[in-house]
Amino acid sequence: MVEHQLAGRGIRAPRVLQAMATLRRELFVPAHAAASAYEDRPLPIGAGQTISQPFVVARMLAALELTGTERVLEVGTGSGYVAALLAMLAREVFTIERHAQLARTAAEHLARSGFPQVHVRRGDGTLGWPEHAPFDAILVSAGGPRVPPALRSQLAAPGRLVMPVGEDQGSQTLLCQQRLMNGWRERALGSVVFVPLVGAQGWSG
Ligand code: SAH
């Protein structure tokens, strides 16, 4: 997976490639999908949601340029796969999931797999997690109509936020917004398809 789908397509970030080569993706998908865990596509994880394609995960993680010292917010815990990768690349991870069952399963799984530095909460991630802000990096794992203002305000300076943004729920552009000491910079990382970000500062349903 790492050699063909990631390095072969231009992902160079060595820490990201190392983490993705180490973490077993099959442990985060339901038993019936385990045989497909390393395929080049998203996979169902229950509640109508999906674990993202490895290449897209790698691009998002690479764009954050984590060094190991950061506190990170993730919106859309899903299976917990990306949260575990973030934990390998940063210091502490706060992750929010809207579906109670997914949040519970991911929290149990992460604790059992040895990731005590990941904190999982059920809730509306479009509002962020103000009690633990500011965050050095924010990764949004679902697609919304715009970057939620609450998340922008909870990003540290310097800091980086990666999120799929699109005018309809069917497709998005992956954006990397960088908060600098004196303003913002934005860069587009290509077209992607994510499940919708549903919440007060996302889609209404
Ligand atoms: N990163 C996940 C991918 C999950 S898919 C993984 O590694 O498996 C996106 C997730 O975002 C879904 O589980 C969905 O329920 C969740 N989601 C959608 N809107 C949300 C919101 N407002 N707050 C928190 N989670 C949300």
Residue 88 CA to residue 16 CA, distance in Å, equals: 9
Name residues of the chain where pLDDT drops below 70.
Answer: none
DSSP reduced 3-state for 196: strand
Residues with CB under 6 A from ligand 1: 45, 49-52, 75-76, 78-79, 81-82, 96-99, 102, 124-126, 141-142, 195, 197-199, 202
| Cα 89–chain centre separation | 12
Q: Which of helix, strand or coil describes residue 76?
A: coil
Separation of alpha carbons 161 and 64, rounded Å: 7
- Tens-place pLDDT, residues 71-93: 999 999 999 999 999 999 999 99
Q: Which CATH number fits domain 2-192: 3.40.50.150, 3.40.50.970, 3.30.1490.20, 3.20.10.10?
A: 3.40.50.150
d(CA 160, ligand 1 centre) in Å: 19
What pLDDT is recorded for position 160?
98
pLDDT computed for residue 138 by the predictor:
99
Give the pLDDT score at 175.
98
Are residues 179 and 158 in contact, defined by beta-carbon separation less than 8 angstroms?
yes
Residue whose structure tokens are 């992750």: 95
Q: Where are the domains of the chain?
A: 2-192
Please indicate, yes or no, whether the overall pTM of this predicted structure exceeds 0.85.
yes
What is the predicted pLDDT for the residue at 30? 87
Asked if 52 is an active-site residue, the reply is: yes
Looking at ligand 1, which atom is closest to the CA of residue 99?
A: 15
Evaluate whether 33 touches 46 at the Cβ level (below 8 Å).
no
The answer for residues whose C-beta is within 8 angstroms of residue 142's C-beta and 6 or more apart is: 75, 76, 164, 194, 195, 196, 197, 198, 202
DSSP conformation class of 129: -
Q: How far apart are CA 91 and CA 13, in angstroms?
A: 18
Which residue bears the tokens 């540290």? 156
Best probe residue, ligand 1, of 25, 72, 77 (max atoms within 8 Å of C-beta): 77
Two tokens, residue 140: 């949004």
Confidence at residue 205, expressed as pLDDT on a 0 to 100 scale: 77
CA distances (Å), 100 to each of 52, 63, 103, 145, in order?
19, 29, 5, 23
**Ranges assigned E (strand) in the chain:** 43-46, 49-51, 71-75, 92-97, 118-122, 135-140, 155-168, 171-180, 183-192
